[in-house]
Structure formats: C-alpha cells, structure tokens
C-alpha cells in the first residue's frame, strides 16, 4: 500500500500483440485490478467475473475509471475468455504471460501440478494514479479475495448511507 504498481508490460484482450505498461494504464485513473488463477477456471468464470460485471455501474458511480482482471495466461486466451463472458467495455482483461507482474507483486502461486505452471494468487487492488491504495489478498486459496473488494465496496456504501 502506498507504492506504485510494477512498471511491467501486460497484454490487453483488445490488442493482444501490443503490450502496455501497467503504470501507464493506471496513470491519472482510479481503478480496481483483480487477479485470478486462470482464465476459464470455474470459480472465476461463474462467480468472480459475473460479480464485477454486476457491480460495474456502481463502481462507475463511485468514480472508478476502470476494472481490470489479470491472469497468468496468454493474451489470446484472455481475449477468448473476454468474448465468452462478454466483458468488453466493462472489464479490461489483462494477460501476464510470463507472470512478471505477478512475481513483482509477490503474488505468484505454484500451480504446476494442476495447471502446468506458476499462476497468480487471487487478490484485488484499488489503484489511484498508479499507486496501490488497498490490497485484498486471499489467504487460503478459497476464491474469495477477488470478491472481497466488492464486499468491502458494498460495506462502504452501506456505511455512507446510514
């Protein structure tokens, strides 16, 4: 918290052959970046992505400029996943093919037995002008950390409403 996100190149689903710098992506913007173990994994496809899609308008109302999903996958897989879940225009799907961003964040998770390589832990960041403002990390690999950002967001909205 309080540090800039790593200046690592990530690959967006809409231009998979043109990487962009993570710090540049969030420069002058407020956003959420949540990381998942992998594209097309059941929990992420059935719970995490739909929750962010369902709360998209609420995030916009609260002044968030973007919501990004990151996975240690190739950009073509992330593009296909974005198409399948209809995230375009709402959630920017970012590929971290070699896990450089993930490792720089110290969020790498050894999934070689099941998924064949090192992947990302599940976590969510609130980022303002490329600076990390909050981190929600999944301590037990249950799949809930991606949703903690939304739950905390809802709690803050409820507290503000009273």
- Residues tagged active-site: 44
Partners of 70 in the β-ladder: 35, 94
DSSP state of 95: E
Give Cα separations from 11 to 59, 100, 119 (angstroms): 23, 12, 16
Please name the residues in contact with 2: beta carbons below 8 A apart, sequence gap of 6 or more: 131, 132
C-beta neighbour count of 36 within 10 angstroms = 28
Number of residues assigned to the chain: 162
The residue written with tokens 């981190």 in the block is 135
By the 10 Å C-beta count (0-12 exposed, 13-18 middle, 19+ buried), 132 is classed as: middle
């Amino acid at each position: 918290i309080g540090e800039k996100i790593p200046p690592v190149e990530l690959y967006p689903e809409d231009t998979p052959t043109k990487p962009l710098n993570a710090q540049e992506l969030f420069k002058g913007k407020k956003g959420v970046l949540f990381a998942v173990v992998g594209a097309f994994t059941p929990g992420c496809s059935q719970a995490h992505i739909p929750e962010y899609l369902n709360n998209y308008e609420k995030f916009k109302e609260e002044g968030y400029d973007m919501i990004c999903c990151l996975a240690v996958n190739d950009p073509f897989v992330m593009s296909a996943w974005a198409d399948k879940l209809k995230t375009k225009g709402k959630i920017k799907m970012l590929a971290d093919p070699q896990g450089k961003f993930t490792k720089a964040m110290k969020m790498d998770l050894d999934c070689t037995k099941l998924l064949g390589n090192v992947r990302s832990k599940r976590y969510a960041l609130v980022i303002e002008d490329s600076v990390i403002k909050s981190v929600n990390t999944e301590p037990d690999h249950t799949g809930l950390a991606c949703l903690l950002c939304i739950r905390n967001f809802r709690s803050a909205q409820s507290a503000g409403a009273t």
